[in-house]
A and B are shown apart, each in its own frame.
Chain A
Amino acid sequence: MSSEENLQETDTEARFEFKKEQHSAFQSEKGLTEETIRLISEDKDEPDWMLERRLRALKQYKKMPMPTDWPGQPDLSELDVEEIVPYIRPDVETRGGAENWEDLPDEIQDTFEKLGIPEAEREALSGVGAQYESEVVYQNMQERWEEKGVVFCNMDEAVQEHEELVKQHFMTKCVPASDNKFAALHGAVWSGGSFVYIPEDVTVEMPVQAYFRMNSEGMGQFEHTLIIAEEGSEVHYIEGCSAPKYGTHNLHSGGVEVFVKEDAHVQYSTVQNWSKNTFNLNTKRAIVEENGTMEWVSGSMGSKATMLYPCSILKGRGATDNHITIAFAGEGQDIDTGAKVYHNAPDTKSTIESKSISKDGGRTNYRGLVHIADGAEDSSTSVECDALMFDNESTSDTMPYMEINESKVDVAHEATVGKIGDEDVFYLQSRGLDDDDAKQMIVAGFIEPITEELPIEYAVELNRLIELEMEGSLG
């Protein structure tokens, strides 16, 4: 059976919704104190400079106000960071991740089996990392890439093994802790995540994947991803996220930093399916050098509230950014997502394509900023936002911001909002499809520009998730 068929046949809902008993080796107290931070750092046996960065971030976090004054922003009043457990180390002996799934405790192995990760690894991936609660439990990379000097390890291990690189790049130039309140929180309590290093002129042909799973109730996951793509290199990094739903709130506040050097090409794809009690507040940013290309592909399906605006800073002449985002908000969900691009050099180019679907009272918002600096001559940007609304309880907003300080540019923004066309549905029904199938097919067509950017496993996954969201609720 091909992996595609396998994925199609698996009951997607059951795959994400199962819960595991919590077995942990170390669990921090709820809330945030200097003591908690010191304990986390000590448990990880970190160098002093990292502890100092954490403590400085904590101070910044305490000083900064909660973001409440953005027009139309998701309601964060139910999020009580003091009630979130910031750090849970699962009971795994091999710190830094096992290299064989068999070495993992049965329950964790079972979790990832159900999520289809080892299957995908065999079929289509260059390397896989899997994070359970706060720590990476599995990490493996095909030997042929390791031989070429490619590094794919968990972030905690990188702090020990690649200390200089990490010290230089970790929350310094790209996402400083002072960037926003949740970046500061992330800087204080981060744990796990991936470190990816691609040497000059190496092309990693198959994607590298990390999967993040939150299993415990009321926890926070704060993984940090640092990708350094040296000159002329190429890599596609995929992250997947899921968690079972609990009554209390979970918080996911990841940090992603990508360094795209001259002529390098990085694609960062995310399929986010956090449970609907999760606040998903991330900071993702790339710095792109001369003729480099950064591509952000994001599918936001899950979470109670998402605030995520992947950012590219086009620093070198001729740098390119592509954003493709899809947001699907169902009942009780507020998906506020978009893109930020800073054109800081001449001949830079960005394209942003956003598709959103809202139904059953869900809200989607495209919030985006394009800034063209003075001197960024011959730069161009084009933004396209399309929104589809299913019913009258839902909301679809579009809030782009354009700041143009240079005249020799080409700036275009377009947005449309509409309902599913009755004529389209009628046409498909006349071809023998029922109403549900017709609408699903229209939605699948609507998001196709996004799915075709993803490896087949993910595209199938995304389509399955959307079908699941739409099942039985159409009429």
Chain B
Amino acid sequence: MSGATRFHAGIDVETVERIAEERNEPKWLRAKRLDALEALSDLDYPDVIQTPGRTWTNLADLDFEALVEPFDQTEEKDWVADDQATVVPFHEALNDADLEALVKEHFGSVVDPEENRLTALSTALFTTGTVIYVPSNVDAEDVKIRTTMNGTSLFNYTLVVTDQNASVTILERQDTGADAATEERYYSGIVEAAVGENAYVQYGSLQDFDQSTYNYTLKRGVTDTYATLNWIEGNIGSQLTKTGVSTLLEGESSETKIVGAFFGHEDQHFDLDSKVWHRAEHTTADLVTRGVIDDEARSVYEGVQDVGRDAWDTSSYQRENTLMLSDESEADASPKLIINNHDTEASHSATVGQIDQEDLFYMEGRAIPEQAAKNMLVEGFFVPVLEEVEVDELREDLEERIHERLH
């Protein structure tokens, strides 16, 4: 990097007004941005786990604001969808009266913009996003969104709304442009999903930024009666990722799956949390995460299954497995159960270990060279997670990225 001082546009009212003005935003949105900005300094960073003498992810020491260039948010975005579902860039949606009403109704209703300092920052400064709306009884084809980040910082917002009996599978990919400078950059994404009665949403995501990116994302959905919301969370890239994926099971008999796969190497740091709140009767949750860490990479996993007082007849399961390929890597895990209703069947398990020596021995006995055998075992380790992915393209991409990382 040159010694020249970089100019940072201030994170202030003027900047926020300019972003809103340039996009001709409605008053209500401008007000939300300004509220978030005002709250910023009073808010804390997202919660991270602390044990005696250790902080699992140190966010407070990272100067996120210094990485932010509000007017250097350039990106390329591709959308692929059929015409049954409405998939439009965020600011285009605001030009359509019906869609604007829809956005106004849901914006900030699932993820409170003032939940923490980074969500507030994201709300104040976002310049791009997507609105996905699937009307009643529509079975939409796969929706694909690709975001390629070229600037220093990017704040992205995604809203998914599905009406009764609708169904949609969404695949979101983030990566870094080939021409992007290699200096440190910051990506922040918020995803809100409102899944209607008996609707079905699978939201898959593959994060593959370059390793100078600091990444903060928060995805949260709320389910109506009989609704199903499944998340697939793939993390391959970035220097540091702090990501939260969560479902609020608000409708009776609704279900969720949170499936995670990550593969960290070099000095990458992944902090992932999966959370589910059971708030109605007969709800089901299944949280499955598998990850591999190599070199000096570090992974932090927190899983929370929270069963409310009124969530009768709850089923809630959680599994997390981490494979350590290197002695310098580090894996921290904390699967939590918070149970306030006794009519619950809940369990969780977590394991950390290395490649099974007997498996390796068996394969070497079949004349497979050691390295090849190890690679096969790692690829095999991800199979139970990959099987959950419904979009072939996402599964293939993930497989390919895992394969590349091993070779």
Contact = CB atoms under 8 A, between A and B. Distances in A.
Nearest to B309: A392
B338 A72 contact: yes
Of the candidates A402, A412, A413, the one having the most CB atoms from chain B within 10 angstroms of its own CB is A402
B334 A402 contact: yes
Contact of B343 (A369, A399, A415, A419): A419
Given A392-B342, A398-B348, A413-B350, A404 B324 contact: yes
B352 A404 contact: yes
A415 B349 CA distance: 6
Given A395-B340, A399-B336, A407 B327 contact: yes
Nearest to B299: A404
Contact of B337 (A403, A406, A417): A417
A398 B335 CA distance: 8
Contacts of B324: 404, 407, 409
Interface in B339-366: 339-354
Which label, helix, strand, loop or mixed, suits the secondary structure of the A interface? strand
B17 interface: no
A403 B351 CA distance: 11
27 contacts: A374-B330, A387-B337, A387-B339, A390-B342, A394-B342, A395-B339, A396-B339, A397-B338, A399-B334, A401-B51, A401-B333, A402-B334, A402-B350, A402-B352, A403-B332, A404-B332, A404-B333, A405-B330, A407-B326, A407-B329, A407-B354, A413-B350, A416-B347, A417-B337, A417-B339, A417-B345, A419-B344
A123 interface: no
A416 B354 contact: no
Interface in A265-324: none
Contacts of B335: 398, 400, 413, 415
Contacts, number: 116
Given A405-B330, A415-B349, 19 more contacts: A72-B338, A369-B51, A389-B339, A389-B342, A392-B341, A398-B335, A400-B335, A401-B334, A403-B54, A403-B330, A406-B327, A409-B352, A409-B354, A413-B349, A413-B350, A414-B347, A415-B347, A416-B346, A418-B345
Of the candidates A391, A408, A415, the one having the most CB atoms from chain B within 10 angstroms of its own CB is A415
| Chain A contact patch, size range | 35 or more
Contacts of A415: 335, 337, 347-349
A17 to B, nearest CB: 29
A147 to B, nearest CB: 43
A411 interface: yes
A410 B354 CA distance: 8
Of the candidates A369, A398, A409, A419, the one having the most CB atoms from chain B within 10 angstroms of its own CB is A398
A416 to B, nearest CB: 4
B323 to A, nearest CB: 9
Given A407-B329, A414-B349, A397 B354 contact: no
Nearest to B47: A71
Interface in B219-235: none
Nearest to B357: A408
B351 to A, nearest CB: 5
Interface residues of B, number: 39
Interface in A353-402: 369, 371, 374, 387, 389-392, 394-402
B331 interface: yes
Nearest to B346: A417
When A and B form their complex, which 5 residue pairs have the shortest distance between CB atoms, in order from nearest? Answer: A389-B342, A407-B324, A411-B352, A398-B337, A419-B342
Contacts of B346: 416-418
Contact of B342 (A391, A397, A401, A413): A391
B325 interface: yes
Of the candidates A389, A391, A404, A409, the one having the most CB atoms from chain B within 10 angstroms of its own CB is A404
B332 A402 contact: yes
Contacts of B329: 407
A390 B331 CA distance: 35
B373 interface: no
A230 to B, nearest CB: 29
B49 interface: yes
Contacts of A72: 338
Contacts of B336: 397-400
Interface string A36-68: 000000000000000000000000000000000
B120 to A, nearest CB: 22
Nearest to B354: A407
Nearest to A384: B349
